[in-house]
Structure 1
Amino acid sequence: MCAIALSLAYPVREYIAQRQEIADLQHKQAVAREQVDELAQHKRRLSDRSYIEREARRRLHYCMPDEKCYIVLDGGDGTGRTPAAGGPANRPPWYETLWRSVETADRDR
């Protein structure tokens, strides 16, 4: 009886380990499918011209040639709230930093 139990212990253990591995792989596959769906949705958004224009206006402060745009510099972060006193200093937009580095490089020449 003990010999039969010992001879079956290894195959049963391997079966359980394989079932666990299959469950893990199925979970990883489901996560990967969700990521693919999210990326496909993002790709569809990027093919929409109005989405691209909206993002250019929001992120880069881009204005269309026939528009007149204004940027209000009130020290806020665009949410209508004022920054807390003693908080971290606001960083300038990336294009201001780029332009300052270009000006500094021109002066150093």
Structure 2
Amino acid sequence: MPTARTARPAGSRRTSQSGGPAAKRTAAPRPRALTSRATILLAVFVVLALAYTYPIRIYLQQESQIAQLERAQAEQRAAIAATAKDLEKWRDPEYVRIQARKDLYYVRPGEAPLLVIDDPAGAARDADQKAPAAVPDRWYDTLWHSVQAANAEPSN
């Protein structure tokens, strides 16, 4: 009965380093970089990423709109508060009297109104002003004087 060592074909046997025939090398299968499972898993991840991109973009856009509207609302609340404070001042009759005297130059009965205009530049300009220049004649006066002057010339 032949043994397992003797049953090998001659070309696939190992030989000793003592100068026998060279051993035939067989190529071992190389593992592929991406297996089919890894490729499918990668494709699923890409599809999921693309599917979630649009809703996330919409969500972020809506968050930015909400923040902008909240800022505008806070500004409006501040403007309303300032207007309410101003309205409270106008409800005071003494404040209304002060504003009428200051802005509209109102006076109480029996008071003499006096308005002081502080314009040093205008006063200096008025002090240096000479007599007003003579107003030029109107055009029809000039025309009539020229007709009279032509009529007064002696004829030769």
Q: TM-score range by the shorter chain?
A: 0.5 to 0.7
TM superposition outliers: structure 1 runs of 4+ over 6 Å: none
Q: 1:88-99 counterparts in 2 under 5 A?
A: none
Match of 2:63 in 1: 19
- Whole-Å separation in 2 of the counterparts to 1:60 and 1:3: 74
Query: Do residues 7 (structure 1) and 48 (structure 2) align?
Result: no
Match of 1:68 in 2: 112
Query: Do residues 52 (structure 1) and 100 (structure 2) align?
Result: no
- Whole-Å separation in 2 of the counterparts to 1:74 and 1:9: 70
User: How high is the sequence identity, in percent, across the aligned residues?
Assistant: 32
Give the deviation of 1:9 after TM superposition.
0.2
Larger Rg: 2
- Residues 63-72 or 41-50, more deviating: 63-72
Residue correspondences, number? 79
| Greater percentage in helix | 1
Structure 1: segments with no counterpart, 5+ residues: 77-81, 86-109
Scaled by the length of structure 1, the TM-score of the pair is: 0.65
C-alpha distance after superposition, 1:19-39 (max 9, x if no partner): 000000000100100110111
Query: Do residues 39 (structure 1) and 83 (structure 2) align?
Result: yes
Amino acid at match of 2:70: Q
Scaled by the length of structure 2, the TM-score of the pair is: 0.47
C-alpha distance after superposition, 1:25-73 (max 9, x if no partner): 0001001001101110111111011111111111111111133331113
- Whole-Å separation in 2 of the counterparts to 1:52 and 1:5: 67
- Whole-Å separation in 2 of the counterparts to 1:49 and 1:35: 24
Structure 2: segments with no counterpart, 5+ residues: 1-44, 125-156
